[in-house]
Amino acid sequence: MSESPKGTATPASIVDALKAVAGNPPKVRASFAKGWCVRGTYAPSDRAAEVTKSQSFTRPSRVLARFAVGGGNPDVADTNNLVLRGFSFKLGEEDHRSDILVESAPVHFARTLDQMQAFLEARIPGPDGKPDIAKVKAFSAANPETLNQANYIAARPLPGSLAGTTYWGVHAFPATNEQGETRFIKFKIVPAGGEITLGENEAKGQPANFLHGELSRRITAGHVRFNVMALLDRPGDPTMDVTTRWPDEDSREQVRLGTIVITGFEPDQACDASIFNPANLADGIGHPPDEIFAARRAAYTISLAKRR
């Protein structure tokens, strides 16, 4: 396994590496730099309490959310089919709020913090502004699981709408219900109107910044609605490795926790003033046990400080 020397990676070094890969643009997020702040509502289903006692999911609330395009470059083209789409949202009121961060692939690109650091360092551009392809290939050959995310994205057509994309939580969250029963779940955020994708020729005809206008038209028409699903675990599911999907993940048992409806845009400042902190989880949803999740809490705070 070709990783950084054990224990050398830190949340701060990961943020620095993310910024370096993007060319160090100032005052933007280290990841998902390009995005749009929105508001909406959440309504729980009558089955939410079967899965979790978290009042974030069992009570109606307002929603503050942000759609984004992956990477640290705020000028990335919406027609780039090799980067993720992201969706972050806050559910619940002040004393029982949860921040959920999901993306358009069901796996992360690294299993450990050291592997994530090495993955990013292999992709930092040289003096010519491009990464060393030989270095990237050598790292990928030694760490094949780090290609799972890229392969998933590459196998799918370009998302044609942020409102028509399925978003996944790559972590396994321990969820505790009112009976005190705890099991692992994965979040899957599914567009109620189905997936919206573009063929190769359609994608070529789109401007580089088409997603904002497309989303605006759908919000105006009242067509931005997502079902918040909980995928239920089975014995033996990998809960520590975020580069690996659960077996039969696309067809396994799931429960609809509730529905998010996006109703309008908010000024960027509404989302930029703080962070969507993955560690903010109201009682009833616990912290995933994997190493990547543990680092994210500090990394988001560090990134916020840097962009200020």
| Calpha distance 57→273 (Å, rounded) | 24
Three-state secondary-structure class, residue 225:
strand
How much is the pLDDT for 306? 75
| Calpha distance 203→180 (Å, rounded) | 48
Q: Where are the beta strands (DSSP E) in the chain?
A: 34-44, 61-69, 85-91, 98-103, 158-159, 167-168, 173-176, 182-191, 197-198, 225-232, 254-265
Tokens 């899957």 found at: 188
Q: Give the confidence band of 304 by pLDDT, cuts at 50, 70, 90.
A: confident
pLDDT (tens digit, 9 = 90+) per residue, 34-81?
999 999 999 999 999 999 999 999 999 999 999 999 999 999 999 999
| Calpha distance 92→169 (Å, rounded) | 18
Q: Give the confidence band of 186 by pLDDT, cuts at 50, 70, 90.
A: very high
- What proportion of the chain, given as a percentage, has pLDDT over 70? 97
Q: Which domains does the chain have, with CATH numbers?
A: 11-307 (2.40.180.10)
Taking a C-beta distance cutoff of 8 angstroms, is the pair 296, 278 a contact?
A: yes
Please compute the mean of the pLDDT values over residues 268-296 and round it to a whole number.
93
Taking a C-beta distance cutoff of 8 angstroms, is the pair 215, 224 a contact?
A: yes
Chain-centre distance for alpha carbon 26 = 22
How much is the pLDDT for 135? 97
Higher pLDDT, 5 or 134: 134
**Identity of the residue numbered 78:** D
Q: What are phi and psi of 76, to 5 degrees?
A: -60, 140
Instruction: Label residue 294 left, alpha or beta by phi (over 0 means left) and psi (-120 to 50 means alpha).
Output: alpha
